[in-house]
Chain A
């Protein structure tokens, strides 16, 4: 899939200039008014880069891929997020996977053997979480940008435990959750800075590991000026199996018995024929 990435990089320049010339889909500039919330609901039927409202943008964003397709050859994917903004300003990108309940288990030594003794479930845990900015995030957020932009720590601090427990223990389980997610590449610690070129073009690579939960991911891009959000764009990124993988996963989930019979039949056939062929050799 390396060539796809290459293609995407090539498309970046073309795409960005296109977008500039035609004025892409975007929400009206909030102009620093009261609530600069998330911009116009993205229309899933409109492919990226197709302009819908020609207006003067503060912020334009596009992705090198409209969706993450988990095919039989899927090994994880790196998606390029790129765009333009009206200088001056700083860019913050937040990617959050679909929320779900996660159960964290903790091992303890028991009579010399390590086994799971503690467990704690949390609600509303994002499957994936990555944040990047054009300046060190700490510095940007320290200036009071805050608002809805949350660092991973802040996002997880608000997690609701499914069952109550004392704060110190919860903090330990929360740290354990981050540790496991980091290891699986789902909470990438440093996805790298958003790089800005010519003062207005920006880009950042979003890494997605092969062990990627399915669902609709939410990508939000913020334009900050003097610590305040002046523009924001939200883009959904569907992540799902396609083709043969999707077919098999669907059968396994919905037609379990039939799938099981099919698996047995496959095994019998391949085993019988394979055995017969190998004995002739």
Chain B
């Protein structure tokens, strides 16, 4: 069954889009990340214009994060102080990102920038996660009941000014750190149409040293508002949000997420992280091949301009 997407201006199979949403939802249920990093490249791959894919995916992220945020909120897993600092950076970053997106689109380099950013980020994160899960696995094998070590290590970043106490996260760190992190996530969110959870979550754990329990809830809090900001700005400045496309992705995601959560409950955390790192590396590999392979056609068209 085909449906015409009024903003993307093409028709597409309903079940393909529902399935894509479900796959993204499955990932978000399993790993607590939005799944946008998989859905956006796939949307572009099936022929949705990148600008529409990114903006509509941001709209889907809004729905995805409210759904998981209500659970985390009820369990008291949201560090609001940390969330608000991240959000302040995120709002600035996403606004700058939408502006940058519009500029890159005008000079015809947006597809290229999207692809390169994905490749760089996904490979870095995938490799880090893989290395971390492998080293944990071998350490545990050698010393199953060994000492847990310190809560988190102290680096140079802990000497930055503007220190704030984050009680829920049991942290006393500079506000500049989450502010900067939020900003970067905001830019990524605007350009790539992702919530940014797959960068934010590891960064909160490894860079900020937040306890894992509050990480998911707090990142959801920030992602919800940043994604809403991206949706609003893309709609207001570029008119590229396709609500029909977004609704189909959302409906698929609503079904996929609880299934993912059930799978996650059955798998050990280590296996889950290893699985996710392999998945991330696979997407990065595919995108890299796209960049390096000789394209079937050297030519493409920019936006049509009807002159008065």
Most B Cβ at <10 Å: residue of A109, A119, A260, A274: A260
Cβ–Cβ contact A261 & B232, under 8 A: yes
- Given A119-B108, A241-B6: A102 in contact with B304 (beta carbons within 8 A): yes
Cβ–Cβ contact B231 & A75, under 8 A: no
Min CB distance, A213 to chain B, in Å? 6
* Docked complex Cα distance between A119 and B250 (Å): 37
* Docked complex Cα distance between A274 and B244 (Å): 17
Closest to A70 in B: B4
- Given A75-B2, A119-B108, A267-B60: A179 in contact with B250 (beta carbons within 8 A): no
Binds A, one of B140-148, B167-175, B188-196, B234-242: B234-242
Provide the residues of chain A in CB contact with B109, threshold 8 Å: 115-116
Cβ–Cβ contact B7 & A279, under 8 A: no
Cβ–Cβ contact A256 & B300, under 8 A: no
Cβ–Cβ contact A105 & B292, under 8 A: no
Provide the residues of chain A in CB contact with B151, threshold 8 Å: none
* Docked complex Cα distance between A161 and B2 (Å): 38
* Docked complex Cα distance between A123 and B66 (Å): 47
Chain B residues numbered 251-308 whose CB sits less than 8 Å from any CB in chain A: 251, 253-255, 257-258, 291-295, 297-307
Q: Which residues of A come within 8 Å of B, CB atoms?
A: 70-76, 98, 100-109, 112-116, 119, 123, 127, 173, 176-177, 179-181, 183, 210-211, 213, 215, 241, 244-246, 248-249, 252-253, 256-257, 259-264, 266-268, 270-272, 274-279, 281
Provide the residues of chain A in CB contact with B164, threshold 8 Å: none
Min CB distance, B294 to chain A, in Å? 7
Provide the residues of chain B in CB contact with A119, threshold 8 Å: 108, 302
Provide the residues of chain B in CB contact with A116, threshold 8 Å: 108-109, 111-112, 300
New A-B contacts (14) at CB < 8 Å, excluding given A103-B302, A176-B299, A179-B297: A72-B4, A104-B302, A105-B302, A114-B292, A116-B300, A176-B297, A177-B301, A210-B2, A213-B304, A260-B235, A261-B232, A264-B228, A266-B243, A277-B254
Cβ–Cβ contact A270 & B63, under 8 A: yes
Min CB distance, B288 to chain A, in Å? 9
B67 within 8 Å of A (CB atoms): yes
* Docked complex Cα distance between A272 and B74 (Å): 13
* Docked complex Cα distance between A190 and B251 (Å): 41
* Docked complex Cα distance between A95 and B112 (Å): 35
Min CB distance, B127 to chain A, in Å? 20
B40 within 8 Å of A (CB atoms): no
Q: Which residues of B come within 8 Å of A, CB atoms?
A: 2-4, 6-7, 9-11, 59-60, 62-68, 70-71, 108-109, 111-112, 116, 228, 231-237, 239, 241, 243-244, 246-247, 250-251, 253-255, 257-258, 291-295, 297-307
Min CB distance, A156 to chain B, in Å? 14
Min CB distance, A4 to chain B, in Å? 15
Min CB distance, A50 to chain B, in Å? 30
Provide the residues of chain A in CB contact with B231, threshold 8 Å: 260, 263-264, 267
| B299 partner, pick from A106, A115, A123, beta carbons under 8 A | A106
Cβ–Cβ contact B250 & A271, under 8 A: yes
Cβ–Cβ contact A278 & B297, under 8 A: no
Provide the residues of chain B in CB contact with A270, threshold 8 Å: 63, 247, 250-251, 254
- Given A210-B11, A268-B66, A272-B67: A245 in contact with B6 (beta carbons within 8 A): yes
23 interchain pairs, CB-CB under 8 A: A71-B4, A74-B11, A75-B11, A103-B108, A104-B302, A107-B295, A109-B294, A123-B307, A173-B299, A176-B298, A245-B4, A246-B6, A256-B235, A260-B233, A263-B241, A263-B243, A264-B228, A266-B247, A270-B63, A271-B62, A272-B67, A275-B70, A279-B71
Cβ–Cβ contact A105 & B232, under 8 A: no
Cβ–Cβ contact B254 & A105, under 8 A: no
Min CB distance, B78 to chain A, in Å? 16
* Docked complex Cα distance between A106 and B247 (Å): 34
Min CB distance, B244 to chain A, in Å? 7
- Given A71-B4, A271-B66, A271-B67: A260 in contact with B232 (beta carbons within 8 A): yes
* Docked complex Cα distance between A263 and B253 (Å): 16
Provide the residues of chain B in CB contact with A74, threshold 8 Å: 4, 11
Cβ–Cβ contact B108 & A211, under 8 A: no
Min CB distance, B304 to chain A, in Å? 5
* Docked complex Cα distance between A244 and B291 (Å): 38
Closest to B237 in A: A256
Cβ–Cβ contact A278 & B59, under 8 A: no
Min CB distance, B119 to chain A, in Å? 10
Provide the residues of chain B in CB contact with A179, threshold 8 Å: 297, 299
Cβ–Cβ contact A248 & B298, under 8 A: no
* Docked complex Cα distance between A275 and B57 (Å): 18
Cβ–Cβ contact A100 & B241, under 8 A: no
* Docked complex Cα distance between A177 and B148 (Å): 63
* Docked complex Cα distance between A213 and B7 (Å): 12
Cβ–Cβ contact B244 & A248, under 8 A: yes
* Docked complex Cα distance between A277 and B258 (Å): 10
Cβ–Cβ contact B301 & A72, under 8 A: no
